[in-house]
Copies of this chain bind each other. A is one copy, B any other.
Amino acid sequence: MALTHTRPGDPVDVQPMGSRLATEPTKALFKSDQLELIRLVLQAGKSFPPHQVLGEITIHCIEGEIDVTVDGESHILKAGQLLFLKGGTQHGVTALQDASALVTIVLKP
């Protein structure tokens, strides 16, 4: 996931991908001192396996529908919904429909 060289103040596109969902990869949007933003792309039925990060995160469903499994419990997010998780929380994501999401990660100092 190569990082683009986004500068503070530069507009970053996080619009729905629509028909491009089928071909766009998951990619990192940028990483700064305190934040990393990732655009997660999953086709229906595909999963991002359970994992954890040190800092708090938000997962914002941009389009489609995803199931965020947190410590074995299912949390459904539709387009326009987000959730936050505390640092160190194990979570996985499964797309219930073709979906993309914006994942914001706080980088622990």
Task: Please report A residues at the B interface, Cβ cutoff 8 Å.
Answer: 6, 8-16, 30, 32-35, 37, 55-56, 58, 60, 68, 70, 73, 75-87, 89, 102, 104, 106, 109
Give the docked Cα–Cα distance between A16 and B106 (Å): 25
Is B35 within 8 A of A81, CB to CB? no
Chain B residues within 8 Å of A10, by CB: 75, 83
Chain B residues within 8 Å of A32, by CB: 56, 84, 86
Is A8 within 8 A of B84, CB to CB? yes
Chain B residues within 8 Å of A6, by CB: 84
User: CB < 8 Å: which of B79, B80, B89, B106 contacts A8?
Assistant: B89
User: Nearest residue in B to A55 (C-beta to C-beta)?
Assistant: B34
User: CB < 8 Å: which of B8, B11, B30, B55 contacts A85?
Assistant: B8
User: CB < 8 Å: which of B68, B77, B80, B104 contacts A16?
Assistant: B80
Give the docked Cα–Cα distance between A6 and B12 (Å): 27
Given A9-B75, A75-B9, A104-B104, also A15-B70 (CB < 8 A): no
Give the docked Cα–Cα distance between A90 and B78 (Å): 34
